[in-house]
Structure 1
Amino acid sequence: MIDKTQQTPEQNPRADGIAARLRAFDVLDLVLEQGKTLEEAFDAAQRGKTGKQGPHSDRDSAHARMMVLTVLRRLGQIDALLNRFLTRKPSGKGRAALTLLRLGAGQILFMETPPHAAGSTALAVADKRNLAGFKGLVNAVLRKVAAAAQSVQTQDAARLNMPDWLWKACADAYGKPVARELGVAHLVEAPLDLTVKGDDASAWVEKLGGALLPTGSVRLWNAGDVRKLPGYRDGAWWVQDAAAALPVKLLIGAMDNPGSGHVGDLCAAPGGKTAQLAAAGYTVTSVDNSAPRLDRLRENLERLSLKAKVVQADALSWKPDELLDGLLLDAPCSATGTVRRHPDLPWRKGGWDRDKLTALQKSLLLHSVQLVKPGAPLVYATCSLLPEEGEEVVEAAMAEDPTLVLDPVGADELTYLPEASREGGLVRTLPSFWQQRSGNRRGGMDGFFIARFRRGV
């Protein structure tokens, strides 16, 4: 039997932290070069779909995730420094070498990893990933990065870490000062928000050591593995960002008979909003076209001991047997409001077709109003920062269908979050809200757009 304690890092990829770096490299390559989502990339690395060696311990996995998240959150700063030392833009296999440089630089600049450790492990990863021909370049550049590490203190982090397309979109929509606030917010790891089933949120604050937000959510910091928290197995709560809980709150506030009636949840998976509606006593039909995501929804409902009718269908063509008493449409979107949780999103190749996406959103909204009874409420929501997926969709849809009547959200309905009120009774949250350095609200929230309607005659 081989004594693995005597193996070199190249023989034993778990030695000296190489295993975690191998996984981090693979995940970054899948995200930045192949356009995979962060979840897809980690899943592929975990399951071995890349065909490459990955770590098996929880510690290695956690370290790999931290390295990946650090690189993605600080990618603009990292690239700005690397570009000082690269004489030409990498291409071909050089793109993989660039990923390795980003990984090494991220550790040196933002994780307090000793330069010699970041450099030596990068060279070991190069050997394992058929990049031996780039070892000289990697070694030389990382040495220069270490020597210039103090220069990151003078970089414009808020601007550099937002790619040009996102910076322009936010600056055009909200002005440069708010765009800068958003850039700062995106650098902060999102806390964990929970929606408690029932009325005992304060009790769970005590049990979990968290804080009660004005919206009623329970906020935790450094929560660790969610599945190991008290109350998870018992179905006492579910994970849901404080902003993501608002659309259902505003829908319930407009229902004629609170806690009674048949409500639809379109594009429902993974089911946080369905759980809110079911826990409030409504008969819920949840519609989504993704079978795997609906499986997650069913699992979540089972854990929470909540019930809903789950339907796999295209939301654009689905119709209930009878008109609904209320409906929530959480439309597919760019998800630019969730960058704190998904720092890969701004940097992934491919992106999305904005015209196609906004056309779908308008079509879904126009279809949704036909599914509710006259006078019944309908809430349209997206987790996007972009006005073309919010205000502009609402304006276009209302111009096309006079039965889509705006039901303004009053200031008295948002006393817990007055900064979210917008002209005309629309609602918009931003990641820069609740970004205090201390206190119970610190940590921000997802960016959401919310509009409430009633079906007119």
Structure 2
Amino acid sequence: MLWQGRALEAALPRALRSLDDPSDRGLARNIAASVLRWLPDLDELIDARTRMPLPDDARARMVLRMALAQALVLETPHHAVVATALPLVEGGPRRLVHGVLSSALKAGDSLPDRPLLPEPWGQRWAEAWGEKAAAAAAAAMAAPPPIDLTYKSADVVPPPGEGEVSLLPGHLRTRRAGRVEAWDAYGEGDWWVQDLAAALPARLLAPQAGERIADLCAAPGGKTMQLAATGAAVIAVENNEKRLTLLRENLERTGLPAELLHSDARKFRPEAPLDAVLLDAPCSATGIFRRHPDVLHLRDPDRLEETLRIQAALLSHAATLVRPGGRMVYAVCSLEREEGEDQVDAFLDRHPDWHADPAPAGALPEGIREEAPGRIRTLPGDLAEIGGCDGFFMGRLVRDEN
């Protein structure tokens, strides 16, 4: 996956096609994710026990990474680790893998308290947000975060159970295990999985019943469902047909209405000006590394130019869709200032008829604050005592009346 430049979720269906048992598929997914979370540290252990460094894409290195992740992260019994690793190098460097693995396990090799972040992210985030935030990011990389649920009505949120907490009306944070499809009220469509930070842009937009609102780049649909649940008339615009299908399925499960449009958001033009637009723009996605550790191995901060150009174009186009006095929320699941704060500042420079507007009362949970009026940044370390949240930037913008 790494040397092919493919995301984990895109690579897994083909990789797991020979596994019928859901538990086997879940284990394989956990092994892959654990390798990605601890990759630099696993490679340090491997390199310390080989006379010459193995190539990054060598089968022996990949097998050792998986085996050590099983033993040191997932705490699989050592005999089972060895028994499953060696068949993967039949006809190859079996003796090398057996020797390195056996010596590491017998010596009691261990991983540090928190992973090393893949280069260049640790240094980059330390410079941008401070050493404390970079250290919090490393700690957050170590294990999957809790799961946040957004309910389509605050009235149906169950009382928090043991280890659960509700941070806003219509929100529940849980550490339940297993397939979410088997959880209570999933089939009834009462809720959907949505990280707390990802749920904030729609709350910042403060949609009202009867308003005409566009959700641009809308899939997989969490924000569309939030908007529709308020009674707003929502147009969900998505350029990726497969992702649009997923959005449609989510709406059908929850029973929430929205008009779906398969289109490039830069070409979308409603019949009449809109009351509001939510633009969750394409981005580097570095802020969602807690659930998708592969992004830090696949993204290159030196290759943001095209993404930045698309974001700026989307912002400028979205501004033309909104009536005077209307509003827009721009959001990215990114920890890169160029994609967040800098984009909004540049937009406001280009569009003097727009201004940043403070967050509505009650839109943000305790512990998340505006860094400036209309600008909200969530960072590693925010809400860490209750499980943290993804890295996001959100800008709330209003078009002048005249």
Q: TM-score, normalised by structure 1?
A: 0.83
Deviations 1:243-263 (A, max 9, x none): 1111111101xx5xx222100
State the one-letter code of the partner of 2:35.
V
**What is the aligned partner in structure 2 of residue 409 from structure 1?**
359
Deviations 1:45-81 (A, max 9, x none): 233xxxxxx3211121122122222221111211111
> Which secondary structure state, in structure 1, belongs to the residue aligned with residue 324 of structure 2?
coil
User: In the TM superposition, what is the alpha-carbon distance from 1:416 to its structure 2 partner?
Assistant: 2.6
CA change 1:317–1:191 in 2 (3 A) is same
When Rg is computed on C-alpha atoms for both structures, the one with the higher figure is 1
State the one-letter code of the partner of 1:290.
N
State the one-letter code of the partner of 1:428.
R
Matches within 5 A, 1:285-324: 285-324=235-274
The percentage of aligned residue pairs carrying the same residue is 39
User: In the TM superposition, what is the alpha-carbon distance from 1:224 to its structure 2 partner?
Assistant: 1.2
Are 1:229 and 2:183 an aligned pair?
Answer: yes
**What is the aligned partner in structure 2 of residue 136 from structure 1?**
95
The match for 1:262 among 190, 200, 212 is 212
**What is the aligned partner in structure 1 of residue 399 from structure 2?**
455
Q: How many residues align?
A: 401
State the one-letter code of the partner of 2:102.
R
Q: TM-score, normalised by structure 2?
A: 0.93
Ranges in structure 1 where 5+ consecutive residues have no aligned partner:
1-29, 48-53, 437-441
**What is the aligned partner in structure 1 of residue 77 from structure 2?**
114
Deviations 1:319-357 (A, max 9, x none): 111110101000011111111110111123778831111
Task: Please state which structure has a larger fraction of its residues in helix.
Answer: 1
> Which secondary structure state, in structure 1, belongs to the residue aligned with residue 274 of structure 2?
coil
> Which secondary structure state, in structure 1, belongs to the residue aligned with residue 398 of structure 2?
strand
**What is the aligned partner in structure 1 of residue 350 from structure 2?**
400
Kept after mapping to 2: 8 A contact 1:215/1:416: no
User: In the TM superposition, what is the alpha-carbon distance from 1:143 to its structure 2 partner?
Assistant: 1.9
Deviations 1:391-439 (A, max 9, x none): 11111222222223221336x4456334332134310112422222xxx
CA change 1:69–1:200 in 2 (3 A) is same
User: In the TM superposition, what is the alpha-carbon distance from 1:110 to its structure 2 partner?
Assistant: 2.1
| Counterparts of 2:85 and 2:367, CA distance in 1 | 49
| Counterparts of 1:44 and 1:170, CA distance in 2 | 34
Kept after mapping to 1: 8 A contact 2:72/2:110: no
Are 1:187 and 2:142 an aligned pair?
Answer: yes
User: In the TM superposition, what is the alpha-carbon distance from 1:196 to its structure 2 partner?
Assistant: 0.9
Q: Which runs of 4+ in 1 moved over 6 A?
A: 349-352
State the one-letter code of the partner of 1:395.
D
**What is the aligned partner in structure 1 of residue 108 from structure 2?**
149
CA change 1:295–1:328 in 2 (3 A) is same
Are 1:220 and 2:184 an aligned pair?
Answer: no
The match for 1:446 among 383, 387, 390 is 390
CA change 1:41–1:84 in 2 (3 A) is same
| Counterparts of 1:95 and 1:393, CA distance in 2 | 41
**What is the aligned partner in structure 1 of residue 230 from structure 2?**
280
| Counterparts of 1:332 and 1:85, CA distance in 2 | 42
State the one-letter code of the partner of 1:198.
S
Are 1:72 and 2:36 an aligned pair?
Answer: yes
Kept after mapping to 2: 8 A contact 1:434/1:445: yes
State the one-letter code of the partner of 1:70.
S
The match for 1:240 among 194, 200, 216 is 194
The CA RMSD over aligned residues, in Å, is 2.2
| Counterparts of 2:350 and 2:299, CA distance in 1 | 34
User: In the TM superposition, what is the alpha-carbon distance from 1:157 to its structure 2 partner?
Assistant: 2.8
User: In the TM superposition, what is the alpha-carbon distance from 1:367 to its structure 2 partner?
Assistant: 0.9
Kept after mapping to 2: 8 A contact 1:189/1:443: no
Matches within 5 A, 1:307-346: 307-346=257-296
Kept after mapping to 2: 8 A contact 1:211/1:219: yes
Kept after mapping to 2: 8 A contact 1:265/1:287: yes
Are 1:44 and 2:14 an aligned pair?
Answer: yes
| Counterparts of 1:336 and 1:349, CA distance in 2 | 8
> Which secondary structure state, in structure 2, belongs to the residue aligned with residue 234 of structure 1?
coil
Deviations 1:9-45 (A, max 9, x none): xxxxxxxxxxxxxxxxxxxxx2x22222111121112
State the one-letter code of the partner of 2:155.
D
Kept after mapping to 2: 8 A contact 1:414/1:421: no
Kept after mapping to 1: 8 A contact 2:211/2:232: yes
Are 1:432 and 2:395 an aligned pair?
Answer: no
User: In the TM superposition, what is the alpha-carbon distance from 1:305 to its structure 2 partner?
Assistant: 0.7
| Counterparts of 1:179 and 1:215, CA distance in 2 | 30
User: In the TM superposition, what is the alpha-carbon distance from 1:215 to its structure 2 partner?
Assistant: 5.6
Kept after mapping to 2: 8 A contact 1:335/1:383: yes
Matches within 5 A, 1:201-212: 201-203=156-158, 205=160, 210-212=164-166
| Structure 1 range deviating more: 63-72 or 308-317 | 63-72
State the one-letter code of the partner of 1:453.
L
Kept after mapping to 2: 8 A contact 1:201/1:212: no
CA change 1:415–1:40 in 2 (3 A) is closer
Kept after mapping to 2: 8 A contact 1:414/1:420: no
> Which secondary structure state, in structure 2, belongs to the residue aligned with residue 68 of structure 1?
helix
| Counterparts of 1:210 and 1:415, CA distance in 2 | 19
User: In the TM superposition, what is the alpha-carbon distance from 1:230 to its structure 2 partner?
Assistant: 1.3
User: In the TM superposition, what is the alpha-carbon distance from 1:370 to its structure 2 partner?
Assistant: 0.6
| Counterparts of 1:415 and 1:175, CA distance in 2 | 23
